[in-house]
Amino acid sequence: MIGVLKSLATTMEHALKGETFTVEYPDVPPEVSPRFRGVHKFSQERCIWCRQCENVCPNDTIQIVTNEQRQGEQYNLHVGQCVYCRLCEEVCPVDAIILTQNFEFTGDTKDDLVYNMEQLKSVPWYNELDPLEAREPDRGSWVGEGEDEVDYQ
């Protein structure tokens, strides 16, 4: 009983000070931590198809399809399986994968969240993401084009 009263007193103390820790989502978007790991974006333009992300992924979220010349043809994403460990981003030698801060996507089953590259282009929550706004990656290790030319798909 004393514990309950203490809890109520703490709650009242914060309420009277106007301190709240919840937001009225979705009207008010929550501020997520800079280290938050949301759905990742993939740059087909930047990718060198080394398949390291595919190999390091613990649960086959990423599937890289290459042709006989080992040139990249397809990038498949099983979003519903991802555990957001960020290993794919860390292992990528050219920062072709960035975990963004987006968490707003839904599906009834994991199968609803399986996409290939073409399908991803028409998924609003994926298409509208700007990974460069979502997080500041280590651009020092990037190769190739200028910032404006990077084609995140």
Residues that bind ligand SF4 (CB under 6 A): 47-53, 56-59, 61-62, 64, 82-88, 91-92, 94, 96-97
Q: What is the DSSP letter of 79?
A: G
Which of residues 3 and 68 has its CB atom nearest to ligand SF4 in the complex?
A: 68
Least spacing, CB of residue 105 vs ligand SF4, in Å: 14
- Length of the chain equals 153
Nearest residue to 92 (alpha-carbon basis) of 59, 46, 133, 61: 46
Q: Is the peptide bond before 34 cis (omega within 30 degrees of 0)?
A: no
Helix, strand, coil percentages in the chain from 3-state DSSP, rounded to 5:
35, 15, 55
Least spacing, CB of residue 39 vs ligand SF4, in Å: 9
Can you tell me the distance from the alpha carbon of 141 to that of 15, in angstroms, rounded to the nearest whole number? Answer: 47
Least spacing, CB of residue 87 vs ligand SF4, in Å: 4
Which of residues 16 and 89 has its CB atom nearest to ligand SF4 in the complex?
A: 89
Which of residues 90 and 130 has its CB atom nearest to ligand SF4 in the complex?
A: 90
Spell out the residues 6+ positions from residue 59 whose beta carbon is closer than 8 angstroms to its own. Answer: 81, 82, 83
Which of residues 18 and 34 has its CB atom nearest to ligand SF4 in the complex?
A: 34
Least spacing, CB of residue 53 vs ligand SF4, in Å: 3
